[in-house]
Amino acid sequence: MTATHIVTLTPVPFYDDTVLTWSDPQSGTAYVAPKPMVDYFGLTWQSQHEKLTQNKLFREGIRMTLIPSEGGPQRTMLLERRLVHPWLLSIPVSRIRPEFQEKLLLYQRECADALDAYFTQGVAVNPAVAAVPVGPLPRYGHDGETLRALMAAHRDLIAAHTQLLALLQPPPGPLQPARG
C-alpha cells in the first residue's frame, strides 16, 4: 500500500460534520478519509487503523495516497465509500465516550434501516436526498400569473431532479474500453 500521487480531498456534509472525499477519475471509485471521522466519534485512530487494515473486506478498499499540506505532501489512508457504512456499523457504541454515543447510534440506526429496506423491499431510499422541496402550487386559473407560477415550479422540480441525478452518478472520467 504505497502512496503514489497527490490528490485533493473534497469536503462533503455528513450529518453535523464534514467528511473528506475523493473520486478516482479513472475508475470512478469514491473514497473517504476515515481518520477525520474517527475524531467525529471520539475514537482513537490507532485502534481504527488496526481494524481497517486487519479486516480483509476493509483492507480490499484501502488506498494509500498523498494529500497536500503546509509541510508538504502527507501520506493518508482512504477507504472506499461503500465500506464506510459497514466500518461504522462495526464500532460498538458502548466503547466510545458517552457524549458521542448518540451520534454514532443515530447513524447506525439509519444504516440498519437502509439495509433492511434494501433486503426486504429491494430498494433503499434516503429521505434526505429523495425529498425534493417544492413550494405549494398555485390553484388552477386562466391568468398569466398562474401559468408563470406553474412554469417556475416545474423548472424548480427539474433542477432538483437534475441535482439528484448528479448525486447518483459517478464523477466523469476518461472513457474506459469495453471489457469482453
For residue range 50-97, what is the model confidence (pLDDT) as tens digits?
999 999 999 999 999 999 888 889 899 999 999 999 999 999 999 899
Domain shared by 78 and 41, yes or no? yes
Q: What is the DSSP letter of 131?
A: -
**Total of domains in the chain:** 2
Residues 114 and 147 in one domain: no
> Do 26 and 68 reside in the same domain of the chain?
yes
- Same-domain check for residues 78 and 132: no
Decide: 116 and 127 in contact? Cβ < 8 Å: no
CA distance 132 to 173: 28
**Residue 43, CA distances (Å) to 35, 64, 79, 116, 174 in order:** 9, 21, 17, 27, 38
Portion of the chain with pLDDT greater than 70, in percent = 68
- Are residues 62 and 143 both part of a single domain? no
CA max distance for the chain: 68
Average pLDDT over residues 125-132: 66
Do 103 and 134 lie in one domain? The reply is no
Which of 121, 141, 157 is the C-terminal boundary of a domain? 121
Least confident range of 148-152, 154-158, 176-180: 176-180
Q: What is the DSSP letter of 124?
A: -
29 pLDDT band, cuts 50/70/90, is very high
- Residue 178 located in a structural domain: no
Quick one: pLDDT band at residue 35, thresholds 50, 70, 90?
A: very high
Does 179 fall in a domain?
Answer: no
Range of the domain at 117: 10-121
**pLDDT at residue number 170:** 53
CA distance 47 to 87: 12
